[in-house]
Amino acid sequence: MEDIREELQQQALEIMDQLPDITDEQMEALRANSELRRLCRELLALKGDLYLHEHPIMKEERVAMFQEKEEEEHSFGKTFFRWLLPLAAVAAAIAFFFVFFQKNDVDVPQGRVYTASTEGSQKVEMIVGKEQMTLTKKEQESEQKITMNDYREILSHVDPTEKVALRVPAGQSSDITLSDGSVISLHPGSRLAFPVAFTSTERVVKLEGEAYFNVVHDSKRPFIVMTDLTETTVLGTEFNVDTRDGSSTVITLVKGRVQVKNKKQNNKVVLEPGMQTVAKEDGFSPLSQVDTTPYSYWAEGYLFYDQAELQDIMRKIGLMYNMTVEFRNTDIMQLKMRFFAERKNGLDAVISRLNSLHRIHVTRSGNTLYVD
């Protein structure tokens, strides 16, 4: 633990020395690590104190600074901004951190694990070439099932090799049956691209987000799932692909056998049932054995968690129903829980189920869930 803290302290010193020209890697580290941001704040405050010692300020300004103390967390940089301007390097640091911390700390309260999406359409959309079809209200059910046969007439004038994309926003989920009979269960906030009809030699789709694949066996046409990082090849099997992290892709095999290629490193791994791999730009993590029940249960319409951290459960629920989630009691965020609920019963039923466990209390206010 002490080694980690020393490493963070060294990172903070390097960032402060390099301001305002920090690297993309340093920027990403600041976004991801609240402790690193806190250390940078302390260093910035120390620079301010040193400058104050050499350049005393008027009593009135000291009073004004004291009165602003309660707002310091919400307006970092304001307190020091007036009297640090003569010091160019510190002024540049304040300008940077004022903008950065406003975005990363103030806008996301402590205890918030998911923020509801307000971008774009909140309905499932099918995109064919440049045309965009929003599915009708009749089709807009929480557990939407789509088959390409339903759109045979619409797609009859489209070239079979034309790419089709299904976009599923936060708060929605969708099962789609492709032209070969394979069924893909798309999680909220995901996008699947595929041709109107597969070729005679292979079946290729591209995924952004997370999906569970139940692939029809075809020994002559391998099924290939492309992501930014990986290429997963199967003949017929069940597996889950998750690209939500942004910097990695997680592949979990439920049945059958798959080969996963890391497109950045051009190396491959083979998965057997119950195995999981994490692909990153620098290669694969060691293979691990995992419980695949939560993945298969998702495809069957259930939320299932066994000894999962409460913050992870609530983050998934927030994404599933597009609700902001805030912990008012942050001490329980890492509480391990077992939880099971049927997704189609809706959010209120999920909240009732959570509260019936008598370990936490979840309340709903508008578009936000509060956890106590």
Residues 242-272 pLDDT 10s:
998 878 999 999 999 999 999 988 899 999 9
Side-chain-facing half-sphere of 119: CA atoms under 13 Å: 5
Q: Is the pLDDT of residue 13 over 70?
A: yes
Q: What is the mean pLDDT of residues 235-241?
A: 92
User: pLDDT over 70 for what percent of the chain?
Assistant: 72
Q: What per-residue confidence (pLDDT) applies to 92?
A: 54
- Tens of pLDDT, residue by residue over 171-202, are 888 899 998 999 999 999 999 999 888 888 99
Mean pLDDT of the chain: 78
* pLDDT given at position 69: 37
**Residues 324-339, mean pLDDT to the nearest whole number:** 92
> Between 31 and 334, where is the model more confident?
334
Give the pLDDT score at 210. 94
- Please, which pLDDT band fits residue 145 given cuts at 50, 70 and 90? confident
Question: Which tens digit of pLDDT belongs to each residue from 52-101?
Answer: 444 544 434 443 443 343 334 333 333 333 433 444 455 455 555 544 55
Cα 1 from chain centroid (whole Å)? 27
Instruction: Provide the pLDDT for residue 240.
Output: 96
Residue 276 has pLDDT above 80, yes or no: yes
Quick one: pLDDT band at residue 333, thresholds 50, 70, 90? very high
Helix, strand and coil percent figures for the chain, each rounded to 5: 35, 30, 35
Task: Name beta bridge partners: 303.
Answer: 341
Indicate whether 231 pLDDT > 50: yes
Structure tokens at 256: 């059958």
Question: What pLDDT is attached to residue 284?
Answer: 93
Residue 258: predicted pLDDT = 95
Tell me, what DSSP letter sits at residue 103? I
Distances (CA, A) of 54 to 20, 47, 50, 51, 100: 23, 11, 7, 5, 28
